[in-house]
């Protein structure tokens, strides 16, 4: 402990009492009459549901008096726009993060280009916030208002409570929104990078907000090409795969040659993959998975991955 001192925790501890690397994004929401999309700068926006829920989601934390909060409470839709790093882009984020401006005031000197996204293309008669043409990556999202029983939350001058735990109005000053990701949109260059292999040359050049701010400045780091470190090759052997397979709650059997095709699966994901094989077997009235069936399962999985891309 010789090199440590405890620092006092204050409101907004992530930027007043610590340094925390975070994303930097512009959240787009519709204004009251749905005539325009207003954008606010945020860093408290993180992955929330990442697997096993039937959909994927982000969580957004914001002031409950903000235009973003009001837009989500009214219309339940938003876009999360990730802009590439430049000093001018960062300056625009800082301007859009200033509290108290109306949507019209925020958009008066806006330097980016708003365009319709995929949600509007698929549903021309629906009302959706626009996306930013300059953003190499955009998430189009819908607020899952039923979580934490937040569907009846309304815009108010003040929020006296009671408050929700994790969705909707969560405190006197704060709000959280669980946002189901409807679409992930990406510029061609970065789509191709994920589809065909990411390298230092084609990595998306996003800035990092370092959280800390003082009375004069926000702090953001310049983008530099990332380094890559190989994942340790810690595959399992057939005996380990057999051990995991024998403990599944199923009457589906696996042959050794089938299990040998799973030795490259990382140990944390082995049970998930085995259960997926059992699901396939049950759908096909199959009671024994051999190398033949395992190849069919792997081919199906590869096809599904290509279709998602």
CA-based diameter of the chain, in Å?
A: 68
Beta carbons of 30 and 70 less than 8 angstroms apart: no
Residues 6+ positions from 284 with CB-CB distance below 8 Å? none
pLDDT digits (tens, 9 = 90+) for 12-32: 888 888 888 899 999 999 999
The reported pLDDT for the residue numbered 223 is: 83
Residue 49 has pLDDT above 90, yes or no: yes
Burial class for 224, CB neighbours closer than 10 Å (0-12, 13-18, 19+):
exposed
Compute the average pLDDT of residues 119-140: 98
Compute the average pLDDT of residues 97-108: 82
pLDDT digits (tens, 9 = 90+) for 251-290: 999 999 999 999 888 878 888 999 999 999 999 999 999 9
The DSSP-derived string for 58-92 is EEEEEETTSHHHHHHHHH-EEEEEEPPP-HHHHHH
Residue 227 has pLDDT above 80, yes or no: yes
Mean pLDDT computed over every residue of the chain: 90
Residue 233 has pLDDT above 70, yes or no: no
pLDDT digits (tens, 9 = 90+) for 190-208: 999 988 888 989 999 998 8
The reported pLDDT for the residue numbered 231 is: 62
Helices (H), 230-290: 238-246, 256-259, 270-283
Q: Where are the beta strands (DSSP E) in 114-217?
A: 114-115, 131-132, 137-143, 168-169, 174-186, 208-213
pLDDT digits (tens, 9 = 90+) for 140-176: 999 999 999 999 999 999 999 999 999 999 999 999 9
Name the DSSP letter for residue 153. -
pLDDT digits (tens, 9 = 90+) for 234-249: 556 888 899 889 888 8
């Amino acid at each position: 402990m010789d090199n440590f001192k405890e620092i006092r925790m204050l409101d907004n501890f992530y930027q007043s009492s610590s340094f925390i690397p975070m994303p930097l994004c512009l959240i787009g929401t519709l204004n009251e009459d749905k005539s325009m999309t207003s954008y606010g700068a945020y860093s408290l926006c993180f992955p929330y549901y990442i697997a096993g829920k039937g959909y994927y989601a982000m969580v957004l934390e914001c002031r409950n008096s903000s235009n973003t909060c009001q837009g989500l409470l009214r219309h339940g839709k938003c876009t999360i726009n990730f802009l590439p790093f430049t000093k001018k882009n960062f300056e625009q984020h800082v301007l859009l993060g200033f509290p108290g401006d109306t949507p019209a005031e925020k958009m008066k000197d806006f330097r980016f280009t708003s365009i319709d996204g995929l949600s509007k293309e698929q549903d021309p008669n629906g009302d959706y916030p626009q996306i930013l043409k300059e953003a190499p990556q955009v998430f189009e999202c819908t607020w899952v208002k039923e979580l934490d029983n937040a569907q009846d939350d309304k815009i108010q001058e003040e929020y006296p409570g009671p408050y929700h735990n994790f969705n909707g109005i969560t405190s006197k000053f704060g709000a959280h929104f669980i946002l189901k990701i409807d679409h992930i949109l990406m510029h061609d260059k970065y789509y191709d990078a994920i589809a065909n292999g990411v390298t230092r040359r084609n990595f998306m050049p996003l800035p990092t907000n370092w959280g800390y701010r003082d009375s004069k400045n926000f702090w953001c780091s310049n983008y530099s090409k990332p380094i890559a470190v190989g994942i340790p090759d810690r595959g399992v052997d057939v005996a380990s795969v057999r051990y995991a397979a024998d403990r599944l709650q199923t009457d589906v059997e696996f042959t050794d040659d089938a299990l040998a095709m799973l030795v490259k699966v990382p140990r944390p994901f082995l049970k998930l993959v085995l259960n997926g094989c059992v699901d396939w077997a049950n759908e096909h009235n199959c009671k024994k998975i051999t190398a033949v069936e395992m190849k069919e399962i792997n081919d199906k999985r590869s096809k599904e991955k290509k279709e998602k891309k």
